[in-house]
Structure 1
Amino acid sequence: MTNSERPALSVSAAMALAKGALEGVTVRLVGEVSELSNKPGYKAVYFTVKDKSASLPCMMWNNRYRAAGVQMRVGQLVELTGRFTLYAAKGRMNFDVFSVALAGEGNLRLQVANLARKLSAEGLMDPARKLPIPVFPLTIGLVTSPRGDAVHDVLRTLRRRFPVARVLLAGVAVEGPQAPAGIVEGMRAVVHAGAEVVLVVRGGGSYEDLMPFNDEFLARMIVKCPVPVVTGIGHEPDTSIADMVADLRASTPTAAAEKVSPARESLDALFAARTGSLSACAQRSIEHAAARLGRAAAHPVFRDSNALLAAPAMGLDVAADRLSRALPASLDKDRLQVARMQERLATALPNAVNEDAVALGHLKDRFARVLPVGVASVAQLVEHDRERLVRALPAATRALSSDLAHARQRLVGVGGSLTQPYRQQFGVAAAQLDALSPLAVLGRGYAIARNEEGAVVKHVAAAPVGSRVDVSVSDGVLACRVEAHATASQQTDSRKDA
């Protein structure tokens, strides 16, 4: 049957015939996403892919799109697997997509994005985990390629901004499959050598060239590094995994060197500020010391050494005067008594001896008359008694001296009892002097305020608002400034209100 003899088809039948023929062909194609419509409530995702000379409308059911795990964006290069189909109601041809994957760089970006989400979920990118950068690091570790421009940029910047820093260079490969392991070993080497901060840098390049800095092993080693890590990867439009987990990210190697080195101008300003602060502190200390010295020098005790003990000294003088008058009078009285006793003794002894001698003379005469023969013996007996009497006289004298010494001791004891009341008066006077001492008053919680001239502040007019006042307490001096005045009645009212 020729074509002219066949019956004509309806539009619906013709579209059904074409749809059956197209849906039998499954193809895989690569194109760039030029349009994308993924609205809530839609059952499918609608987009268009194109190349240099053609474009193709596509649709993909939501369950397939979610299972693919790809977040499509305009401009991405994607690889699609599906079949052609017709939407008969509008007579439009679509590409029914079964699966989608990023192609080329897009696939790499998907892998990096998935890794970033994984590490972020583990908390490796949490800012609270990251270490602070030292303000003045004297030893800086540099991990980069020894042949690239990045190493010269960093060294030149550090030499210009912070020449006192020592740089520990670990030359490693920054491209290729072995680059992540080499970078990790370089970091270990500079940290072991004493680096206070580590710079991991490289110059620009394509996204594929920078893939070593998206390595999971390198990212985890950066997190575990005991010192801060600063990255400077010269690929400004993109951020690598190493940038995300590093303690600080810089856009270029030069910027990374600037992050860890203070500018010379800021150092000069800092040193000038610290010098001024030290000078001001030293000046204030000298002024306070001079004020304390002036107050001490103005104290009456230091101006007149007799002021502190003047009253007790006068009391001692009075007591000494009374004692000097009392002791000689008592001694004179005792001397008179001793003299009278000596006179009585001197008078009594010779008279007694003379009376005995007269009696003996009478007895001698009687015995001479009665017993002439025994006169010589009697005379010898009398002479013997006389010698005994003479020997007894020194013993009596010694007894008298003993009585005199005992009397002297009694006199000394009486003198001590006479001074005891004056000693008590002296102790009472010393206690009164201590109670009236300004230092004792300060020890009970009171304070003395002096103005800038060193004068005691007795009323509020002597200390104007804004003036400096030194307040002396028990253990030092408080340097204060008057901010406001309040009368005694106002203070009483404020206490009642409280």
Structure 2
Amino acid sequence: MNDKYLTVTALTRYLKRKIDTDPHLRNIWLRGEISNFKHHSRGHMYMTIKDEHAKIQAVMFAGNNRFLKFRPENGMSVLIRGEVSIYEAHGQYQLYIHEMEPDGIGSLYLAFEQLKDKLQKKGYFDPKYKKPLPLYPKHIGVITSPTGAAVRDIITTIKRRYPIVKVTVLPVFVQGPNAAPSIVRAIEKANEMDFDVLIVGRGGGSIEELWSFNEEPVADAIFRSNIPIISAVGHETDVTISDYVADLRAPTPTGAAELAVPSQLEIREKIIHFVQRLNKQMQREITDATKRLHNLQEAYAFRYPFQVMNQKEQELDRFVERLERSFSHLLNSKMDEYRNVFQRLQVMKPSRQMQMARETLRENEKRLKVSMERLVERNTKELAYRIDRLTLLNPLEIMKRGFALPYTENGNIIRSVRQVEPTDHISVQVADGTISCEILEVKEEEEIGK
């Protein structure tokens, strides 16, 4: 008997062949919103594409997503071209994406804004990292296409403005898939050479043609460069990521050449101006020196040198006498200081100090002995006085004079006749012992008075 039951695998494969052979599902165009986006470490992108009423699992393999100009995100509305098939392991149909772009905004513009935001957060645009350009460069590197109009404009402008500078062109691709790697290699190679300034750019074009200057590897190479870089991409209205990262942005390639070198005409004018200022200053110096020379020639010392010499000889004698007196005074003063110090040292000899210390010790011992004797005598008298006072207050001393203390059987002191009754036993404490008694009669004080 034939088995009419299929296995799950057989059913799944049957459905997969049905879907894979349907021409309507081999190339579909889909609009939807991304959710559950995940970029796998192997490069594949997994996500869910949904609208208001349905959703479908989707995958975009690394071979396809490497050409994306933007970074997919959850909540982004996208336009997709792909195909539908079944993933046999889970038995579910899913969308295999071949192409994808943002819905409502160009993918290149979105990629530009995303990369700009990313690099700005990393600090690539911070002015503190901008390197100053040298005033008078000796060697300029131009990284651009060797056949474009931009390189001719740059070289012509540099040679016109500053012909003594050396210019080297590092040819690169400026558009197409090989452009970005070519520009990165040229910047890295230039940093191994003796350039003072680098001009990186190209002539104008569409955003697609300029896109190599919006690539992240190019931005990284510009940021890492130790040589100042002028970005000269397109026309004045064209703005690229390279413009933000570079040390200086030029509106055009010709403008970059003007920024890279000074103008020989301006330098010549400055030299002429400095020469004129120098001549005027030198003329003033010569005039002032001539006046000083004339004054010196008319001075008394030059007209009567022997009189001046005799006068200076007398002044020298006075100075020598003053010097000798000062030296003698200083010597006597130092001798007096020496004698005072010597006398003080004699007084402060260790043997004399020891003798004085012994005398002081003996004197202090005598004073201490007298003070201790007085203190003992005073404290002895005070102790005797306090003992006498304590003796007067001692109950035992009072009892010796005939007084006694009666106690009840419970040990309470009897202070009133109301505390006892006839036949009660009490104890009476006297000075030398205790007497046990029995109450025969109780009389209050009023009855005694009667």
TM range (shorter): 0.3 to 0.5
| TM norm structure 1 | 0.43
